Structure 1
Amino acid sequence: MIAGARVNKTLKIAQTQGTLRYSRWDALLVFLSAMHAAILIALPLMPVIALGLWWNANTISHNFIHKPFFRQQALNRLFSFYLSVLLGFPQSMWRDRHIAHHAGVVWQKRINRQILIEAILIAVLWIALLTLYPVFFLTVYLPGYFAGIGLCYLQGYYEHARGTTSNYGVIYNTLLLNDGYHVEHHADPSAHWTQLPKQFDKDARASRWPAVLRWIDAINLETLEKLVLRSRLLQRFMLKTHERAVRRLLQELGEIRRIGIVGGGIFPRTVLILQRLLPGAQLVVIDAKSESIQVAQTFIKRGNDEDIFSAAPSVLGGENVMSTQGLRPGLLSGRPLRGLCKESLFLNPYIDRETVEFIHEWYDPARHNSFDLVIIPLSFIGDRESIYRHPPAPAVLIHDWIWRRRGESSIVSLFLFKRLNLVKR
């Protein structure tokens, strides 16, 4: 309450004195808008134009929509003219569209005097550039402009692609003035940008990526995983790097008897590693795709002495390669799947069927709750932040990108941009 009273007092002071209407911090945005123009003049390059448009549209321009900076309307109109010329689209039209977005209604296009003047100013600039610097305008400015519009489209789309989503990365929110607090912003669009972190919603849907980069989650990591099945060197590399990280973090834990491996199909490196490091533990692989389970099950030894490897060189130069018997036809275009030979990094090159169970289900922390340790993959489909905040087991190992360190952590590989994080209840 005391902090809230101080905030209200600050805002009231700002409303009754000075040029700025809401907060002295808005002077920073005015200064940054001038710096944006200066950088464009000094470095008129396509990437600078594109990134500058995207950055300004989601920081200065966006905040000016919700909280016009100046007390005097004449200054707000002038600043709107300036932003329109700087960014290449009428700021007032952008404001109408954005307000409709928050209201959840269809944007009704309209032309008023302010919008018309802004459009004319943009046209004057573009005609001048085309006349004086035609090559620059056609080969640098316009491509950069449309690339920036494309980045803005990605930003807007992925902010709401799976429901309104926030990003709480410190670097992103520092550089983009708390733009990552998107759930909080939609809960209270009138909140000043400096106050959004104080309105943090612990139950908000969150992404590890800023909105403009969330398309990365659409990359099919399973396809990359299948490539490992085709390469002896990749298999050895994946096993060696992952075992080192897992071994280090297991030292932080006590006795582990039952382990849940989420999405452990295709190349079952986690199962192979854990059977080596924790030979007495019961392993349960939970995978929503039957094809992935079928591939992983081909690593199971099919009898006391029967070899599941045949027909091609093994990982470290042996004579065997695992059979594809039992796989769905065409799964890997008919090419043999290379497995681990007896001379590999592992004493036991096979999955021991007595200690491994495969479950064809979506992982549900509420139902799959009988584990001492749960392992979450990089390709996890779900709320990773919720797993971090509310670990579904006494210990959870979470594969994540290398810049996402949480809890105890070990880098898997710089080449893979990957680390393994350990969180505990």
Structure 2
Amino acid sequence: MIWRYSWRDSIPLSVTLFQLAINIWLAATWETRTLLQNLLFIPLCLFLFWYNGLVASHNFVHTPWFKLDSLNRFYLAINSINIGLPQAYYRHEHLVHHRFVNDRPDQYGQVQDPTSIFANGKNGQPENVISYCFLGLFRADLLESFRKIGQTGEAPQLYLELAACFLALIGYLILSWQYFLFLFLPTFYLGWVLEHLENYYEHFGGVPENKYANSTSYYASLYNVLFCNEGYHQEHHLRPGVHWTKRHQLRREFRKDFNKVDRVILRFPPALGFLDHRRIVQEQQATQPCAKAI
């Protein structure tokens, strides 16, 4: 067996491989279709980008899928092409997020979590969701993150992933500059907008100072089956090293602690959190059933 935790990791793996394959195919065959026909692929490519960041890239950070480190490192390089940035950068930012979990500004107005929804808010309130999502990509301090990654001894992996991104970029431009301009760039930008939207409502309404209520959760079964139990986000923050197939068990484990606090349980997936963004209920009041691990 090649799997470190579960063969079910082949599900997000298959999605990311399909994402890479369809992007190469679109670039290579761009000239065989009209511009309108090509643009019809944007929703699919955007969904794959969003799913990658939400499920595949995210889970891989915490529980690398393969027993062999060489396979893990190869996958990281390949998937860096999909998300348009080195996976090492994604990992670095995400682990900092887990360490400080959407913290509020200190006395100097600074936050430790670069993805905190409070970082650019006013008067101690979260930032507006629109500016958070659409400006988030431009606020990334890549050079500083690369410097810190290098200090951890992961510079060789970072260089490998940067090389993969660069070579893919050149390859796409050679195959079709129109593909790069009209599909790759819009998908890259809007994909990261969706990633920021997801993160926003995975934490909006949460209490950063309370580890049992600093995030939100969404317990609908279908969503958690299709998205590898990503709805158990509060549970995930409590035990980030637990494989996604076991996250539903954490809800039962922490039920007593959840019952002691008011926390956000969403009625819609986080990407649609704006439809019901302040549903604050206690755990014992929640009526939605636990999703079963697939």
The answer, yes or no, to whether TM exceeds 0.5 is: yes
Amino acid at match of 1:94: Y
1:28 to 5, 8, 11: 11
1:102–1:386 distance in 2 versus 1, CA, 3 Å: closer
What does 1:213-228 correspond to in 2, within 5 Å?
Answer: 213-217=272-276
Contact 1:165 1:207 in 2 (8 A): yes
Q: Give distance in 2, aligned partners of 1:34 and 1:190.
A: 24
1:213–1:42 distance in 2 versus 1, CA, 3 Å: farther
Contact 1:172 1:180 in 2 (8 A): yes
Structure with the larger helix share: 2
Q: CA deviation at 1:175?
A: 1.4
| Partner residue, 1:241 | none
| Partner residue, 2:264 | 205
1:31–1:136 distance in 2 versus 1, CA, 3 Å: closer
Structure with the larger strand share: 1
What does 1:4-403 correspond to in 2, within 5 Å?
Answer: 18-41=1-24, 45-104=41-100, 105-106=112-113, 109=145, 110=147, 111=150, 112-163=155-206, 164-200=215-251, 201-202=254-255, 203=258, 205-217=264-276, 382-383=279-280, 389=286
Q: Give distance in 1, aligned partners of 2:279 and 2:58.
A: 29
Per-residue CA deviations over 1:49-88 (Å, capped at 9, x if unaligned) read 2211111111111111001111221111101001101221
Count of matched residue positions in the alignment of Structure 1 and Structure 2 = 213
Amino acid at match of 1:70: F
TM-score computed with the length of structure 1 as normaliser: 0.46
Contact 2:4 2:67 in 1 (8 A): yes
Contact 2:80 2:87 in 1 (8 A): yes
Amino acid at match of 2:245: T
Structure 1 stretch displaced more, 194-203 or 38-47: 38-47
Q: CA deviation at 1:39?
A: 4.2
Task: Please state whether the residue corresponding to 2:216 is helix, strand or coil.
Answer: coil
Q: What is the CA RMSD across the aligned residues, in angstroms?
A: 2.5
1:94–1:207 distance in 2 versus 1, CA, 3 Å: same
Q: Give distance in 2, aligned partners of 1:41 and 1:129.
A: 7
1:85–1:195 distance in 2 versus 1, CA, 3 Å: same
Q: Give distance in 1, aligned partners of 2:170 and 2:23.
A: 18
Structure 1 stretch displaced more, 104-113 or 60-69: 104-113
Q: Give distance in 2, aligned partners of 1:24 and 1:139.
A: 36
Amino acid at match of 2:68: Q
Q: Note the residue ranges of structure 2 that are not aligned, 5 or more in a row.
A: 27-37, 101-111, 115-143, 207-214, 289-294
Q: Give distance in 2, aligned partners of 1:48 and 1:385.
A: 37
Contact 2:198 2:270 in 1 (8 A): yes
Contact 1:50 1:146 in 2 (8 A): no
Contact 2:266 2:279 in 1 (8 A): no
| Partner residue, 2:108 | none
1:117–1:137 distance in 2 versus 1, CA, 3 Å: same
Q: Give distance in 2, aligned partners of 1:98 and 1:144.
A: 21
Q: CA deviation at 1:158?
A: 1.4
Task: Please state whether the residue corresponding to 1:205 is helix, strand or coil.
Answer: strand
Amino acid at match of 2:175: L
TM-score computed with the length of structure 2 as normaliser: 0.65
Q: Give distance in 2, aligned partners of 1:90 and 1:186.
A: 23
Whose radius of gyration is greater, 1 or 2? 1
1:154–1:66 distance in 2 versus 1, CA, 3 Å: same
Per-residue CA deviations over 1:331-388 (Å, capped at 9, x if unaligned) read xxxxxxxxxxxxxxxxxxxxxxxxxxxxxxxxxxxxxxxxxxxxxxxxxx54267695
Contact 2:85 2:165 in 1 (8 A): yes
> RCO higher in 1 or 2 (8 Å CA, sep ≥ 6)?
2
Per-residue CA deviations over 1:269-302 (Å, capped at 9, x if unaligned) read xxxxxxxxxxxxxxxxxxxxxxxxxxxxxxxxxx
Q: CA deviation at 1:116?
A: 1.9
Per-residue CA deviations over 1:200-255 (Å, capped at 9, x if unaligned) read 1543531112111112336xxxxxxxxxxxxxxxxxxxxxxxxxxxxxxxxxxxxx
Q: Give distance in 1, aligned partners of 2:279 and 2:250.
A: 24
Q: CA deviation at 1:31?
A: 2.8
